[in-house]
Amino acid sequence: MTTAELETPMEAPMKELKARLKATWMAGDYGHFATFMEPGALEFLARLSVVPGTRMLDVGCGAGQIAIPAASAAVRVTGVDIAANLIEQARTRARAVGVDAHFEEGDAEMLAFGDATFDLVVSLIGAMFAPRPDKVAAELLRVCRPGGRIAMANWMPEGHVGQMFKIIGQHVPPSPLMVSPLKWGDDATVRERLQSGVTSLVTTMRLYPMRYPFPPADVVEFFRAYYGPTNRAFAALDATGQKALRHDLEQLWSANNRARDGATHVDAEYLEVVAIRS
């Protein structure tokens, strides 16, 4: 009997969903997109005060936004991401700046590491997008050593990016198999998912600086070109649908824009999570 014949009814649809998610995050050019997200990423990393020699796992590492700066500070970094092209970007960037960091393709729900391998397990706007949060939580806890830290940054449902995803979902409904990623930005939900494996858990609402030297309409086009979820959402719509989605996103960015000089400055709310593994 083949592996396919042994699959339960749920496994095949989930594999299809994961394949679509991988294609989504490989669309556009997240490495370029993330250059505008770098200041907020470095702020998140700085607050962790990671000491040299720390064994750090970056889950959903993208093109190495925090992994490479951490490695530059003599942290022993491993980064994993579902998007193969981003792993290649991260490796290329690490070589270019001469830092020792290890990157490999991987799934936040099935991390290919032994129990208690890392001192610090982090995920900056990454693991929250895996479809089965119970498996993600179990894996983050499993690979972190007792006394080690788990740190996450997750978009909040009521925040700017949370509202952006809600708008996209109204135009392109998500898979019914997909638990809303935004639940990771809810304090009570995070505590429920992690509490059984930690001795302490602190959450803090933070503001992520999103700064673009062009107006909101151009920000929407920038997201469409380079950010996988927005890129794929537009691709799923006909011309009329694309026009409607563009209109709604432009309204959101314009309403939350604090710049008055033709640029776009938005502070996006996210939940910072820091837990100590029991």
Nearest-angstrom CA–CA distance, 193 and 197: 9
Domain boundaries, the chain: 17-157+177-210+266-277
Q: Which of 79, 86, 85 is nearest to 101 (CA)?
A: 79
H/E stretch holding 149 reads strand 144-155
Output the pLDDT for position 11. Answer: 86
CATH topology of domain 17-157+177-210+266-277: Rossmann fold (3.40.50)
Q: What pLDDT, in 10s, does the model give residues 26-52?
A: 999 999 999 999 999 999 999 999 999
Q: What pLDDT, in 10s, does the model give residues 90-102?
A: 999 999 999 999 9
Output the pLDDT for position 3. Answer: 31
Encode 135-153: b = buried (16+ Cβ within 10 Å), e = exposed: ebbbbbbbbbeeebbbbbb
Output the pLDDT for position 1. Answer: 34
Q: What pLDDT, in 10s, does the model give residues 51-95?
A: 999 999 999 999 999 999 999 999 999 999 999 999 999 999 999
pTM: 0.95
Q: 73: which DSSP letter? A: T
Q: Which pair of tokens denotes residue 217?
A: 């309409």
Tokens 């939900």 correspond to what residue?
A: 189
Identify whether the C-beta of residue 27 lies closer than 8 Å to the C-beta of residue 232: yes
Q: What pLDDT, in 10s, does the model give residues 107-158?
A: 999 999 999 999 999 999 999 999 999 999 999 999 999 999 999 999 999 9
Nearest-angstrom CA–CA distance, 162 and 125: 12
Q: Which pair of tokens denotes residue 70?
A: 């951490």
One-letter amino acid for residue 126 of the chain: G
